[in-house]
A and B are shown apart, each in its own frame.
Chain A
C-alpha cells in the first residue's frame, strides 16, 4: 500500500517534470520561430519599401513615353476615336425587328465599325500613361 502510493507520487513528479521541460522547450522553439518570422516580415517590408521606390523610378512618365514610342505603334487618343455606347447604331436584327419599312440599310455601317471601335478602346487603354 505504502509502496504503491510512493511509486504513484514518484511517477507523477517524473511525468510533470518531463511535461514541464517539454513545454518549456516547445515554447523556446516557438519563440525562436516567432523571432525569425518577425525578422522576415521586417525584411520583406523593407524590401517592399525599396521596390515601391524602384517601381516609381521605373514608371517615370518620360521613360514610359520613350519605351512606348520605341516598342508600340500607338499614339494618344484623338477625340474622333472616343464614342458613346448609346451613340452606336442598333444591331441589324433589332433594327429589322423594330421597323419593317427600313430593313438593314441604315444599320449596315454599324457592323464593321463596332468591333473596330472596341479595338481602339483597348489600345487606348494601353496608351493611357502617354
Chain B
C-alpha cells in the first residue's frame, strides 16, 4: 500500500482516509462494477492496439530487413526508355537503334541580341544559315526550333556558348550505324516511329512492344564481303546493277543479302524507287541455265533419265517460232553429266520432254518455285509461271526461260537440291543454336548426291571454272539469261548468274551472285556470261568467307575426294572430249 502512495502526481494536500468504508451496497456497488468492467474493456483494447503495433514493429525491424519493394521504388530503369527496340545481326552487331538526341530551340523573347546569337550559333552549327536564324530569333514568338537532332558534340558546343534563351528538347531518332550495308534487309522507319520497309516494317509491332533486340540471321562481315565483290563485278563489267545472297543450306538462314544499287536508310528521302527495290526478294527474273539444276534433278529423281542416259544434241530444235540452240555447242550425242557440264539447252529440253509436263510441274512445285515464298521481309515477289503449260513451255523452262522466280526462291530450292534433298523455308531470323530446323524431304538423298557431283563437274572443267576457290571445293552452275525487253529477248541485255555451293562434299553455304546487264571487257575477252561476270565474284567471296566460318581447306586432289566426287557413268567418247 505504501508504494502506491508514492504517486508523484498525487496532490500534496490530499491524504486518503484511514480506511475505506467497510461495505458497499446498492447503487454505489453497481456503478463501481460498471466502471470496472468498462476500464477492463478499454484497457484490453489499448493492450491489443499496442500489441499489434509492437508485433508490426518486430516484423518490420526483424524480418523485413531486405524488403525489395522499398529498394525497387528507388531503383532506376534497366535500359534507357526508347520507343523502338534494336535490330542486331547474328553476332549481336548493332544494325538499327534509337538514339535520344537533343533538339535545339529558342525563346526569342529571352534573346538579348538576335544578330550576335545567330552569328555564334552559325559558328558551332555550320549547316545553319546565319540570316535565317537571326530572322527567327528576332521574331516575337515564344518558341522557335533552331535545329533538330543534334549530335552530343554539337550539344556540348552550344552549351559552351552559354547564351540564355537557348534550350534543348530531347527527341528520339532512329539510326542505322551500318548505313547502306544492310539497307534492304533492315529497311527503315519513318519519323513517326512506324516501320516502312524491310524488317522494320514486318516486325513493326514486335519492335515497338518489346525491348529485346531482334536478332537477324544476317552476318555483317559476310554481308560486306558479298557487297564488296558484287560491286566490284558491277564496276568491272560496267553493269547497271547486281544482287546476291549467302544462305546456310542446312537451315535456310540468309547470312547475306545484297541488292545493288542500294540506299542509305538514314536518309530514306534521298532514295529513289530503283534503289529501294529489293532485287533478291521482290524482283523475279528468268534465271537461265541455273534452272538446269532443277531440270536435271527432276530427271534423275523421277528416273526418267540416269547418269548414263544420253541425248542427241547435234542439231538445234525448232518448235513453233522458237529455235533452241546451244551456246557451247558440241554437235553430238551428250550424256546427262555432259549436258549439265556444257550447259546444253537442246539436251535439257529433251530431258524435260522425256519427263513430261506433269512431272516437271510437280517437281518445281515441290521446290516452292511456283508460288510466292513465305519470308520475313515484306517485299516478296510472286513467280511468273505460264498460265497454259504447253510442251514448248516445258522445253524452255528446262533451261530457265519462260518462268520468272526471285533469286531468293532460287537459292532456297538449290539448297534443297544439295543438302540431301531437304527443303528449308528461307528465313531472315537467327535460328536458336543447336536446334535442327524441320524441313521437308523433296527428293531422294541419292539424287542430291548425284547433283553435287554434277555441280562440281561444272566448276572443275565446265562453264564455271572461274568460280573455283582452291581448297574449298566449290560446286555450282552458271546461268546467262537474255532479258525480255519490249516482248522479245534482248541479245545484249543479259542477266548473268552463278550459284555456288561449298564445300561440295558436305555442303554448308550457298553463294549466289547475279549481275544485271554486264558488258564484256578485255579481261573477259568480251564475254559477259555467268561464267565470266558472276563466277569470279563467287570464287572471291568463298575464299574470303571460308576462313571466317571456320571451314577447313582440303586437298582437292586427294584420292578420297576424287573418289567421292567421281561421276561413274561417262561414255568413252565423253571422257575424251572432256579431257581435251
A residues neighboring B (CB under 8 Å): 2, 5, 31, 34-35, 38, 41-42, 45-46, 49-50, 52-57, 59-62, 65, 76-80, 82, 84, 124, 128-130
**Chain B residues with CB below 8 A from A59, complex form:** 93
Given A38-B75, A46-B80, also A78-B543 (CB < 8 A): yes
Given A50-B152, A53-B175, A60-B181, also A82-B80 (CB < 8 A): no
Complex contact A84–B97 (CB within 8 A):
no
Q: Closest 8 interchain pairs by CB?
A: A79-B471, A61-B224, A56-B177, A79-B553, A56-B94, A57-B177, A77-B547, A38-B76
**Chain A residues with CB below 8 A from B80, complex form:** 42, 45-46, 49
Mask of B419-449 contacts with A, CB within 8 angstroms, 1/0? 0000000000000000000000000000000
* A-B CB contacts (within 8 Å), total count: 81
**Chain B residues with CB below 8 A from A129, complex form:** 221
Q: Which of B31-84 contact A (CB under 8 A)?
A: 74-77, 79-80, 82
**Complex formed: what's the CA distance from A56 to B544 in Å?**
22
In angstroms, how far is the closest chain A Cβ from the Cβ of B148?
A: 17
In angstroms, how far is the closest chain B Cβ from the Cβ of A76?
A: 5
**Complex formed: what's the CA distance from A80 to B471 in Å?**
8
Q: Which residue of A lies closest to B220 (CB)?
A: A61
Could you pull out 6 A-B pairs where Cβ atoms are within 8 angstroms? A38-B74, A38-B76, A46-B80, A62-B228, A76-B544, A79-B471
Give the contact-size bracket for chain B: 35 or more
In the complex, whether B573 has a CB less than 8 A from a CB of chain A is no
Partner among B8, B178, B546 whose Cβ is within 8 Å of the Cβ of A5 = B8
**Chain A residues with CB below 8 A from B386, complex form:** none
Given A52-B97, A53-B99, also A62-B181 (CB < 8 A): yes
Given A5-B8, A38-B76, A41-B76, also A46-B224 (CB < 8 A): no
Complex contact B553–A53 (CB within 8 A):
no
Partner among A31, A42, A56, A77 whose Cβ is within 8 Å of the Cβ of B93 = A56
Partner among B79, B97, B547 whose Cβ is within 8 Å of the Cβ of A53 = B97
**Chain A residues with CB below 8 A from B97, complex form:** 49, 52-53, 56
**Chain A residues with CB below 8 A from B76, complex form:** 38, 41-42, 45
**Complex formed: what's the CA distance from A53 to B152 in Å?**
12
Given A42-B80, A56-B177, A77-B547, 13 more pairs with CB closer than 8 A: A2-B8, A34-B74, A38-B75, A49-B99, A53-B175, A56-B178, A60-B181, A61-B224, A65-B228, A76-B543, A80-B553, A82-B553, A130-B544
**Chain B residues with CB below 8 A from A79, complex form:** 469-472, 543, 546, 553
In the complex, whether B353 has a CB less than 8 A from a CB of chain A is no
Q: Which residue of B lies closest to A37 (CB)?
A: B76
Given A77-B547, A79-B472, A82-B547, also A45-B79 (CB < 8 A): yes
In the complex, whether B179 has a CB less than 8 A from a CB of chain A is yes
In the complex, whether B100 has a CB less than 8 A from a CB of chain A is yes
Q: Which of B540-580 contact A (CB under 8 A)?
A: 543-544, 546-548, 552-553
**Complex formed: what's the CA distance from A54 to B95 in Å?**
11
**Complex formed: what's the CA distance from A56 to B170 in Å?**
22
Q: Which residue of A lies closest to B74 (CB)?
A: A34
**Complex formed: what's the CA distance from A119 to B224 in Å?**
26
In angstroms, how far is the closest chain A Cβ from the Cβ of B328?
A: 29
Complex contact B220–A53 (CB within 8 A):
no
**Complex formed: what's the CA distance from A54 to B470 in Å?**
38
Q: Which residue of A lies closest to B73 (CB)?
A: A34
Partner among B152, B178, B223, B224 whose Cβ is within 8 Å of the Cβ of A65 = B224
**Complex formed: what's the CA distance from A61 to B220 in Å?**
8
**Chain B residues with CB below 8 A from A38, complex form:** 74-76
Q: Which residue of A lies closest to B544 (CB)?
A: A76
**Complex formed: what's the CA distance from A62 to B152 in Å?**
24
**Complex formed: what's the CA distance from A17 to B308 in Å?**
105
Given A49-B80, A129-B221, also A76-B547 (CB < 8 A): yes
